[in-house]
Every structure is written in structure tokens, then in C-alpha cells.
Amino acid sequence: MVRTALLIPADVNVKLIIRHSMRPRLKDCEYPDEVLLNTQGIEAAKKMGKGISYSIGNLYSSHIKRCQQTLQYIQEGAGIDKKIQVEQDILGEVFFNNKKDCDAFLRNHSLRETVYLLKNGIEIPGFVSIYNIVNRMLNFIFKDDSIPNTLDIYCTHDFHIALLLTTLFDDITTIEDIRMNWPEMLEGLFLYGTREDFYCLWRSKLKRIQSF
């Protein structure tokens, strides 16, 4: 991410959509939403905060506690204390319209397979279309005033970022592409520009998006 950030023009407003920091494995966990950051995740978030050279602006988090923790420790590392705005809908539950059907599908399919099916226009019970998911996320991300030389951070989950990536980047098409581009913990996608004309940066790849 450091190399990718160096490609951003000076003095622009930057939106960083980031996955939460490190946590224990969720496998066989009865209540995965309640899993918090581990020591490695806490220290990594603090280190990230220390390395941010931009002024930190708006902070938005999923309703899941580990996302809020990530932003809290980024702030601690940066030496600031700002309000974290919790957004359950867009940064948490934006992808489904029926949680029961959604959960039933995910018990038998991986997140990567689910992204692949949505990317290819396959209707899945319980899920919103990928276009509507990404459109709603972009509307939310660009809704605030864009203050130059400021970094706005949106802390969410790997699935949400993967949906953004597969929609915004034309070269992410196959299951293998999705696997190779799956966001690691504390990894994110940079956006800058306006809602109607913006650039996205991911692992040193730059893409311009107009009129999505």
C-alpha cells in the first residue's frame, strides 16, 4: 500500500476503503461478528497510523467492533482522537436484502465464489445485484465534501472491498483473479476525484472511472 500511495497526486482528497486489521481465525467460531483484533492487529493499526502523512478527515466504520477498533488504533498511532461514525448499512449489510437466504447460501459457497457469481450477473437468493451494491457504496463514499490533502478512511470487510475491485477493474474476471486480488487484513483501495469522475488505485494499478 505504501508504494501504491506514492502514485496519488499531491494535495488531493483521498478516500481509503480498508479492511479491518488482523484478528484470530473465524473458522468454527460461534459468533464471528464478535471476534476482536488480536495483538498483532492492534500493533499493525498503530503502525499504520504513525505512517500516515495526510491529515485524517472523516472516519467511517462497519458496525462490527473490530472495524471500529482498527480506526481507534490507527488514530492512536497518528496521535489524534476523532469521532468514528458507524455505518451498519453501507459498510456492513449493503450486499443482502434477505439475511436468512444470504446466510443459507454462504454456508455452501465461499465468498470468492459468491463474488464471481455476482460479477457475472448471476442472481443469488438474498443478495443485491453487484451494480447496486457498488453504486450505493460509491454514493456513500463520495457524499462528504472533499477537503484537499485529507485522508478519509472507511473501514469495512474483505467481501465489500472485493465487490468494489471486481466491478471497478475490468481485468479481475476469473475465480483465480479474484483470489489473487483478495484484500489482506489492513489492506485497502484508494479513490480520489469526484463521484462522476474518479480514479481508483489498487496494488499500484490505476483506473479512471467516469459515470459509473
Q: State residue 24's pLDDT score.
A: 85
- The model carries a pTM of 0.96
| pLDDT tens digit sequence for 93-150 | 999 999 999 999 999 999 999 999 999 999 999 999 999 999 999 999 999 988 999 9
Q: State residue 94's pLDDT score.
A: 96
The cell for 205 is: 494499478
- CB within 8 A of 31, min separation 6: which ones? none
How far apart (Å, rounded) are the C-alpha atoms in residues 24 and 18?
18
Tell me if 70 sits within 8 A of 45, measured CB to CB: yes
Q: How confident is the model at residue 32 (pLDDT cuts 50, 70, 90)?
A: confident
Tell me if 177 sits within 8 A of 168, measured CB to CB: no
**At 34, phi and psi to the nearest 5?**
-95, 0
| pLDDT tens digit sequence for 33-92 | 888 999 999 999 999 999 999 999 999 999 999 999 999 999 999 999 999 999 999 999
Q: State residue 212's pLDDT score.
A: 87
| Beta strand residue intervals within the chain, DSSP E | 14-19, 55-61, 85-86, 150-156, 188-193, 197-202, 205-210
* Distances, alpha carbon 47 to alpha carbons 26, 40, 142, 186, in Å: 24, 11, 27, 11
Q: State residue 129's pLDDT score.
A: 97
CA 43, chain centre distance (Å): 20
Q: Which one, of 143, 148, 129, lies nearest residue 60 by Cα?
A: 143
Q: Is 152 helix (H, G, I), strand (E, B) or coil?
A: strand
Q: What is the DSSP string of 53-113?
A: -SEEEEEEE-SSHHHHHHHHHHHHHHT---PPEE-TIIIIITTBS-HHHHHHHHTTS-HHH
In terms of CATH architecture, what is 12-210? 3-Layer(aba) Sandwich (3.40)
| pLDDT tens digit sequence for 144-179 | 988 999 999 999 999 999 999 999 999 999 999 999
Q: Is 182 helix (H, G, I), strand (E, B) or coil?
A: coil
Q: How confident is the model at residue 28 (pLDDT cuts 50, 70, 90)?
A: low
